[in-house]
Amino acid sequence: MEMNKLSLSENIKNLADSIGIDTIGFARADEFKDYALDHPQRKDPKLSLASAKSIIVVGIYIGGITLPEWENEQYGRTSRLYLSGFFLDIVKPIEPIAALLKNQGYRAKICDGSAKEGSILPLKLAAIRAGLGWQGKHSLLISKKYGTFLALGGIVTDADLEYNTTIEPNRCHKCNECQKACPVDALAMPYVLSVEQCMSNLLAGEKLPERVMKAMDNRIGDCEICQQACPWNRRHLKKPLSTKMTLSFRKRINDWKDVFFLPHLSRLSENEYKSLSSQLNTDIPYHIFQRNVRIAMKGYK
């Protein structure tokens, strides 16, 4: 028997909690009229699912997915997103939610940035609409509870759910710590990330400007400098929350301990790198990764 929207919403929340989702919200599948990029599929959920009524947005806390060795200049530094395996979108963990919906006779499409058609939702805007947080001046989603350390995933469905009706107020106020911290001026305008300037983007590209080489230190892929500076992350940097994902990662932390030792990374064959990069869910080409490692090694030698 088909559930009513309240029962279905509660069942989804209970399932999400049981599989390690830390936060979840529901919102109407209306067009995102304030989406800045020229990407019509993301702008309107109904372009991906014509009968769409709802979007489901989930977040998994990744604040505890970090390595102590990153503070050592002899080790290559990446990011929590890389280590979590959610560099694009959360996909595998939310498959049970999509299955629940389908078992109830509904359609459900998972947002998957690695798929051929690409991401089908502007996940930050969807998360704001679903009540998960607000957009900070670094352009990232900020949650009162989780700071910026949420990996996001989404589902578009024709199920009618209990929608969020409260939008989180912007709590950045006069703070501009993230803007001041960015060493490459990618946040010159508040709330707007200049992708062309951003170190994370440039570390994955063919051309690496001199100013980035001077600022990257031991970073070999991705950058969290603005997140390190954000006051909403202070307590997470000192003591990450003990979530299911955090506890699971801590059990595996020794497996990662020596992986990022720069001389080790410099000796990786292309096949060995592909094995590593598949675990990190990053698509940085081998030759670019090796370039970053070589530059990082010059910094500590």
Alpha-carbon gap, residue 11 to 7, rounded angstroms: 6
The whole-number pLDDT of residue 252 equals: 86
Q: What confidence tens digit (pLDDT) does each residue in 119-171 have?
A: 899 999 999 999 999 999 999 999 999 999 999 999 999 999 999 999 999 99
Please give the residue range of the domain that contains residue 32. Answer: 1-301
The whole-number pLDDT of residue 154 equals: 97
Rounded to an integer, the average pLDDT of 202-210 is 93
Kind of pairing between the strands at 23-28 and 54-61: antiparallel
Alpha-carbon gap, residue 277 to 112, rounded angstroms: 18
Alpha-carbon gap, residue 49 to 157, rounded angstroms: 7
Q: What confidence tens digit (pLDDT) does each residue in 278-294 have?
A: 888 788 999 999 999 99
Is 35:43 a contact under the CB 8 Å cutoff?
Answer: yes
Q: In what order do the strands lie in the sheet with 54-61?
A: 23-28, 54-61, 150-157, 108-110
Q: What confidence tens digit (pLDDT) does each residue in 68-108 have?
A: 888 899 999 999 999 998 988 999 999 999 999 999 999 99
The whole-number pLDDT of residue 244 equals: 95
Q: What does the DSSP assignment read for 27-40?
A: EE----TT--SS-H
Is 78:176 a contact under the CB 8 Å cutoff?
Answer: no
Average pLDDT, the chain: 93
Q: What confidence tens digit (pLDDT) does each residue in 158-186 have?
A: 999 999 999 999 999 999 999 999 999 99
Dihedral pair phi/psi, residue 256, rounded to 5°: -95, -10
Q: What confidence tens digit (pLDDT) does each residue in 55-74 have?
A: 999 999 999 999 988 889 99
At residue 1 the predicted structure's pLDDT band, cuts being 50, 70 and 90, is very low
Alpha-carbon gap, residue 243 to 264, rounded angstroms: 31
Q: Tokens 């109904």: give the residue.
A: 46
Q: How many domains does the chain have?
A: 1
Cβ atoms within 10 Å of 240's Cβ, excluding its own:
22
The whole-number pLDDT of residue 116 equals: 78
Alpha-carbon gap, residue 63 to 146, rounded angstroms: 8
